[in-house]
Structure 1
Amino acid sequence: MIDLGLARITALLKHTPQTWRAIHVAGTNGKGSICAYLTAMLRAKNVSCGRFTSPHLIDRWDCITVNDGAVSEAKFRHFEDLVKKRNEEQRLGASEFELLTATAFEIFESEKVEVGVIEVGLGGTLDATNALRQKSVTVISKIGLDHQSFLGSTLEEIASQKAGIMRAGVPCVVDGSNSRSVLDVINDYAAITGATVRFVGPQTSELVQDMHDELEPHQRQNLACAHGAFRLAYPQYAHDTGVFTRAIREMVWPGRLQLLDIERLTGRKAAVLLDGAHNPQSAEVLAAYVDKHLRTDSKPVTYVLAASEGKDLTEILKLLLRPGDSVAAVEFGAVDGMPWVKPMKSNSILDLAAELGVAVSSRLDAHASVQSALEWATRTANEGPLVIAGSLGPTRKETRLSEARSYANLATANSFFGIIPESSSPKVVCEGRALDSYSNVLLSLIQFWQGHGNVWPEQITIVSHAFKRERLVDCHCGAIGFPLDRVNFVGIDPPGMADGTNEAAAKGVVEAVTQWLEDPHGKGNVLAGKRKKRNPWGVSQLLFSTEEGRKRSGVRSEIRKDGQEYLSEGSPQPWSYSN
């Protein structure tokens, strides 16, 4: 249930200071991209920043970042527990989103960020994020019809809700491509509030002009908003467009016009397009991109679609589909922390698609699994364009867990195999970014240093399949320079490995060890290529999120032109010595 209002969130945060300044972003479309652009520019200037956007993409804590890195599950749950306890003690009855917002603000305060980039959840005036006490700039992006049951049935009514984030004396950057009636509402509200308004567009931003040919039209508008807000917050950096251009080019915003490699899942070699278009305005942007870049030679497009209940799907499909296109429909599972969000029935999606010219013979029966839908779509599309679009959410319960969390749960269920006492369970922290066994060792080592007062571990204990000992200990620990006499290994062999009867698996073990012996840090095409395929979401593989942390750690590394960071070979590393 959504119950808008500021009383509960204000009470939750009554004794929480806000020493950081906020850039508050409202609007119907483009909010998340504007927040991502702002974060990229702030980090380019080494400004410590937090970002809070919603909804989350995979796990609840990935909507909260510090210095462009998602907070750890352990940190998130620590502060969430504090907020929930406060809510229960004061009997506030706060909503899930209010609890999440308060958790984000608590984390930003504890991390001592300089700036928090905050995306409005719903509307503006009564949204929980509007409890912010210290705003340096507000931003209003493109406004369209969405969430009418909460915000009003006209653009003007919705605009008045979005304008509620304005504050007296605080400048507000507004997307100048909004309709005249929307701009009038915003102007009127600013006059009453005492805020100053700046309407922006591609023509107002040197940065957008420099990158004009690299951006889609909607991206130009969003970047103009972000750049305008940044210049107001940090006027001393107003004309440093060169460093920002590099930062924007390297930026990845998952789920928005994102190209994915699904060869590992379906065997398809061509990339697929992923976009979370969930209202007519975002569908219009997606349709324009598909028509321009994918419908070459009038090729039909194969879609895998999902939608939330209550969405204007007919209007969305009218914009996306053309006669001859093919459609698969999936239903996402329960959304963690958002129990009110329900999936539209896949048969309903397919019925609407058929009415718009998608032949019944070319559509897929309802599927509960995105895996089977992708396999069908791959066969149907052949080498033609394939697009995954709509309300993004979990399609199978098991995909909610990271590999690390799955192993942690298994260890907990087996009393940690007797290695540590069961009472240590709350102290278990999962490393969530590694894409191969080498990164698993290295990133876990760095995460330990970050979470334990900048101290490196005296010893490492690795629990894995016994047949992986050579790879994990000799190859990986040896490559990163961790003394092997300080490495403990607990090996547990699966059936068929200890007795050598699984010949295919044994052959794979030899092949993997050979690859790592030839390329100890995984820099070559084979091993680096595997990591790339395993990273459709563009998760950062940098060892440290800030240059300050990198220097303080003493780790010697190099960042390549492709943005990948590797240890400097032959250089001593800080964990090589006893603390």
Structure 2
Amino acid sequence: MLFFSFLKFWDVSDFRVVFQFISLFLNNFTFFVDIDLLLQKFQCSRVHLDLSRVESLLLGLGNPQNQLPIIHVAGTNGKGSVCAYLSSILRKAGYSTGRYTSPHLVNWVERISVNDQPIFPNELYKILQKVENAIAPNQDLPTQFEVITIAAWLYFVYRQVDIAVFEVGLGGRLDATNVCPPPLVSVITSISREHCQILGNTLAEIAAEKAGIIKKGRPVVMGVLPLNAQQVIRSQASKLKSPLIITKSSRQLKPGWAKYKCSSGKYIKYPLPLSGQFQLTNSAVAIAAIEVLQKQGWNIPESAIINGIAQTQWLGRIQWTTWKRQKLLIDGAHNPGSAKALRDYIDSLSATYVVWIIGMLSNKDHFNIFRELLRTQDRLYLVPIPEHNSANPRELAQLATTICPGLESCYPHTDLPSVLDIAFNPSNKDGLVILCGSLYLVGYFLSLQSS
């Protein structure tokens, strides 16, 4: 299972690459287990945002974060795909590009990549050991996210990348990635309600946390935001004298093609491989950030933008795939904003009804996610998410039938593989099968699919 799940992140179009990969994988197999065991030491049940632990460890490791030019990307939704667009464009422009994103779907190595190729497990394990050895006996233990973030800084310096794209994990102001020096450009993709118990109960409060990545005098690119969130970003950018670039969505020319209006007034037409109307905004945000770099002297031709976006891949986000040769759609849809985006995409397909396979973490906004997704005549199967703090499927079923009493059926189940087979039985033949609710559930599905 590990072999195939890791193989999907590599370019295996050449058989020589496949054989080389098999050899390397066999030599590295035990490191997958070792990485999990090492990082388990830093697992904690609650989120404690604080930069002091990260700053102290980085100081002892030579402050690698100060040795790299970076693009810093925050936002409720869209930040992962924006990072994917950016790294692909920069690679096409000839720059060695690091990318750090979270969470991973199957393996920890997915989080850290150079030129869109994930770090090898033996390399990650050695770097994690280095981080662990730098922790003083009397020092507070860092979190898993803090440890893997520090590992990313170290790896990118070791690989001597030209530039790195860093995705914020949670919020921005106190996120472990926010120990970086002033970035080339800060990016805030979108803002909606999520992690309210940590970031705040209003969009303005959440926006204030994300605005924490804006640095004095450094440009900031802002996606399409609600007005009250936008005002917070404008205010912080003005306070810090940071040039603010307000992005408008690209226009769809036809399915799979878009047009972006540059700051010069010129238009760029480009293929858009990722599904969903929101990718018109995400791709526009990425291009706006690239325009900032161009003005700073980075050599990024229009052809790199077009070809980079065309070859962007981002697994688990409105992704068509198969289960036993039958077509289904998978997506994280782990908050109301992303659930609405998924529902908008589904409605554009004119499906008769949807066969939902949903699992969610216990701390998510179940009510509003269901409210965005479910419609009369839909069929719903609830499943747990293995090895995570999963919501109870029976409790989710009760909530779903309360929110959408017109559901054709609603059943809690104990495991995903059996539900997948049920979802594709002949009685559901006219429905569109969709698996969503958590990126961890999507990752579990991908591991099952690979095996």
TM-score, length basis structure 2: 0.80
The equivalent residue for 1:251 is 312
Within a 5 Å distance, the mapping from 1:295-310 to structure 2 comes to: 295-296=350-351, 299-310=352-363
1:78 to 122, 126, 135: 126
- Residue 329 of structure 1: aligned partner: 382
Change (3 A) 1:373 1:9: same
Which letter maps to 2:132? K
Q: Which amino acid aligns with 1:227?
A: I
SS in structure 2 of the partner of residue 222 of structure 1: helix
In structure 2, the residue corresponding to 1:163 is in which secondary structure? helix
Aligned to 2:302: 241
Aligned with 1:279 (options 326, 329, 335):
335
Q: Distance in 2 between matches of 1:111 and 1:148?
A: 37
Q: Which residue of 2 aligns with 1:67?
A: 115
**More displaced stretch, 240-249 vs 313-322:** 240-249
Deviation at 1:242, TM superposition (A): 3.5
User: What is the percentage of aligned positions where both structures have the same residue?
Assistant: 30
The 1:387/1:398 distance shift into structure 2, 3 A limit, reads closer
> Aligned equivalents of 2:298 and 2:136: distance in 1?
45
Residues of 1 paired with 2:435 and 2:268: CA distance? 31
Indicate the residue corresponding to 2:421 in structure 1. Answer: 375
Residue 148 of structure 2: aligned partner: 100
Secondary structure at 2:357's aligned position in 1?
strand
Q: Shift of the alpha carbon at 1:260?
A: 0.6
Given that residues 105 and 442 in structure 2 are in contact (C-alpha distance below 8 angstroms), is that contact kept between their aligned partners in structure 1?
Answer: no
Q: Which one is further off, 123-132 or 373-382?
A: 373-382
- Contact (CA 8 Å) 2:383, 2:412: kept in 1 or not? no
- Cα RMSD over matched residues? 2.6
Gaps of 5+ in 2: 1-45, 251-259
CA–CA distance in 1 between the matches of 2:99 and 2:195? 23
Distance in 1, Cα, partners of 2:270 & 2:370? 31
Instruction: Report the more deviating stretch, 162-171 or 192-201.
Output: 192-201
Compute the displacement of 1:310 (Å).
Answer: 1.9
Pair 1:396–1:79, CA change in 2 (3 A): closer
* Partner Cα distance (1:209, 1:381) in 2: 43
The structure 1 segments of at least 4 consecutive aligned residues displaced by more than 6 Å after TM superposition are 212-215, 395-401
Equivalent runs, 1:420-431 vs 2, <5 Å: none
Query: How many pairs were matched up?
Result: 388
Listed as ranges, the matches of 1:40-439 within 5 Å are 40-89=88-137, 91-175=139-223, 177-202=224-249, 205-206=261-262, 210-211=269-270, 216-235=276-295, 240-263=301-324, 267-268=325-326, 271-293=327-349, 295-296=350-351, 299-335=352-388, 342-357=389-404, 362-367=409-414, 369-379=415-425, 380-393=427-440
Instruction: Output the CA distance in 2 between the equivalents of 1:33 and 1:20.
Output: 22
Give the 3-state SS of the residue equivalent to 1:353 in structure 2.
helix
**CA–CA separation in structure 1 for the residues paired with 2:408 and 2:204:** 43
Q: For 1:238 and 1:161, locate their aligned partners in 2 and report how far apart those are by CA, in whole Å.
A: 33
Q: Is the 8 A contact 1:205 1:227 kept in 2?
A: no
TM-score by length of 1: 0.63
Specify which structure has the bigger relative contact order, considering alpha-carbon pairs within 8 angstroms and separated by 6 or more residues.
2
Partner of 1:364, secondary structure, is: strand
SS state at 1:331 partner = coil
1:163 shift after superposition: 0.6
What are the Cα deviations for residues 213-271 of structure 1, in whole angstroms up to 9, with x where unaligned?
Answer: 876431111111111111212335788334422332222210111001212xxx53xx2
Cα distance change, pair 88–331 in 1 and its aligned pair in 2 (3 A): farther
The CA distance in 2 between the partners of 1:188 and 1:361, in whole Å, is 48
Residue-by-residue CA offset, 1:382-416 (whole Å, 9 max, x unaligned) = 25311011112269999879xxxxxxxxxxxxxxx
Letter in 2 for 1:382: K
Task: Tell whether 2:51 aligns with 1:6.
Answer: yes
Shift of 1:363: 2.6
